[in-house]
Each structure stands twice: as C-alpha cells, then as structure tokens.
Structure 1
C-alpha cells in the first residue's frame, strides 16, 4: 500500500520538527509531518513501512484480514489516505524496496540500481 502524499499527511509536534532537519544546497529544511508513529504497534509484527510504502504481512488468510482491518482502522482514525493506483491486495509475492518478497522467502535486488 502507498500513502498518498506520505509524510505530508501526519502532523509532527512543533517541538519535534527540528529533529527532522536536513540540508540541501539551498537551505535547511525540516519535516513537519510523519507516518511511523500511528503504526508503531504493528511495525515488525504485521507491517513494514519505508517512508510512505506499507506492507501488511500475515502467515494465514484469516489473520491477514484482521491485520488489514487493524491497518485500515489506524488509517481512518488518522485521516490518512492511500494512493489506490499504487495499492495491491491479496498477493502472495511482490516487490518491496527492491526485494522480491514471497511466502517465507525474500530475494535481494540484483544491484543497487534495482532498489
């Protein structure tokens, strides 16, 4: 699943904004919004996140529906929207951050350019 406009949807507390500072050739900037906090109870257990890309994982189908329900509840409660064109459901394998993810198996990318 892909969060529409990812980091721009969830507000960061003003006192925490400076912790996200990054430098460009033109100036200093900081993020004013973030995504990982609302999914913290799920990350590593039934979900993986990288920036605005989310992967809900399960070993059995009935468990997967529960995990999706938990994820959708958090999305709705946080008023996060998904990019429907970039979402895939009921797949047994797929690409996530350059890795091919399959049932009980993960294959690394062939080169760093594949990431």
Structure 2
C-alpha cells in the first residue's frame, strides 16, 4: 500500500521449497470479450485497485466471467498453480455461519462487498 513503510508491513507469498515458478500460456478469448476485459482492467488500474508489473515471477491467466444480463465482465484469475505451490494454512478461517452466530447479539450486521462484490 502506498505510504506504508516496507519495514513495518510487507506482503509475501510463501512458496514450497523446490517448487518451480509457473508462467501459464496465454488463454484465448473472443475479441469482444477481450475488449471488455481490457476496459475492466483499465477501470481497475484507474481506481488504483491494481497496478501493472513488468517482471512477474508468476504469470496467471485472466478468466473472464460474462454477466450476460448487463453485458459486463467479471475478471477472475487462474491461481491453481500458485495454490499448489503455497503451503497449506495451519490456521484456516472460521466458518461463515460461526462468525454470523457470534455477531447475533449485535443490532447491525453488515456484509460489505469491496469492489464489484468479489475482491
């Protein structure tokens, strides 16, 4: 995040020892879908939500999910190779229903979506 000192906080992805980095081949898509994907990427870059990188060690494909009713596209990323290379989390997140039950005594419970409901 801009403004945070890297000595204070820095995000790193652990990789299992001996695992080779993967650069996936380009996924083909229809030209009209590719144009919608480019528009969505430009929107996310302009909003400061993502940023370009030049020398990526990992390369994962974009998987476009079309919202046919409104003609928009939702951008997902194929992280299967990265998930295989990452060690399993020893402390998984608690179940959603347990979290909701824990908040039952509160007056307000909000489920906020970050950006377009999937980030």
**TM-score per shorter chain, which class?**
under 0.3
Larger fraction in helix = 1
Give the TM-score normalised by structure 1: 0.26
Give the TM-score normalised by structure 2: 0.25
Higher-Rg member (1/2): 2
Larger fraction in strand = 1
